[in-house]
Amino acid sequence: MAGAASALFLLDIKGRVLVWRDYRGDVSATQAERFFTKLIEKEGDPQSQDPVVYDNGVTYMFIQHSNVYLMTATRQNCNAASLLFFLHRVVDVFKHYFEELEEESLRDNFVVVYELLDEIMDFGYPQYTEAKILSEFIKTDAYRMEVTQRPPMAVTNAVSWRSEGINYKKNEVFLDVVESVNILVNSNGQIIRSDVVGALKMRTYLSGMPECKLGLNDRVLLEAQGRATKGKAIDLEDIKFHQCVRLARFENDRTISFIPPDGSFDLMTYRLSTQVSLSSGSKLKLKNIQEAVLRLW
């Protein structure tokens, strides 16, 4: 990230500050008023729907969840996509603690909110956004222990998404491929564009620090090995991995190697540009990743 966020604001639907955390000392609480003024001006322009607002040397990046605005303000040249993704992860963290993120839950739990804001960002740089790890040392009153708490090992080691010492009597891994089809059809019933958007959803209940490998029947890999690509080889596009995947290993031999988080998570999302045919019974016929060979070691 080229720059850092100066502050993080949580606003209600009328633009009033519920909670804010200053990380760098170069913005003030009045920035929230300026942001909401610019936001109201943007609402009058139907062609301006971007989540970034610039005003007088300060850039505001925001998302809305329920009746709450989450907004970062910065005076530096930041990676907007990274900060917007960070705001979505903040929503996930709050929902993990409060079930629902809304104005009332923030007011009722402002002490925990400030604790979380101190941990998820440091000097304007995103830090820990794994809710399961944060809940090990930031606990609500209902889960507060009397013994002295110390940060879990996951905060200080390279695998920040998994705790050490996990043990199951029965080791299990579940892998689901969930896909949706997007089709654009003209007035004559002809398909103009079609694609498949999918995700590999996993549930892992494994002991220790397991090393998992997943192989895809990928056309790029087969062609690199000089093997024939006839049959059910696939072309994956817009691939996005969970942070646990070793990207260097995937670039080298197209093997998805990872130490999985405990529980449910999305290992990978992807898109396939494939021709979809509609039969007389309106059944979709397509070649997708579920027809490819998945190998899990």
pLDDT per residue as tens digits for the range 171-182: 999 999 898 888
User: CA 41, 46, 48, 52: dihedral to nearest 10 degrees?
Assistant: 60
pLDDT at 70: 92
Beta strands 277-278 and 17-22, pairing class: unpaired
pLDDT at 281: 40
State the sign of the Cα–Cα–Cα–Cα dihedral 24, 27, 30, 35: negative
Average of pLDDT values for 16-31?
A: 88
pLDDT at 122: 87
pLDDT at 202: 92
Position 131, amino acid:
A
Residue 212 has pLDDT above 50, yes or no: yes
> What is the tally of helices (H) and strands (E) in the chain?
8, 16
pTM of this prediction exceeds 0.75: no
Question: In this structure, how many other beta carbons lie within 10 angstroms of the beta carbon of residue 261?
Answer: 22
List the domains of the chain with CATH numbers: 7-155 (3.30.450.60), 172-295 (2.60.40.1170)
pLDDT at 9: 92
- Nearest CA to 183 among 293, 275, 262? 275
Question: In this structure, how many other beta carbons lie within 10 angstroms of the beta carbon of residue 206?
Answer: 19
- Nearest CA to 58 among 85, 77, 39? 77
Assign 280 a pLDDT band (cuts: 50, 70, 90). very low
Exposure of 260 in the CB half-sphere (CA atoms within 13 A): 27
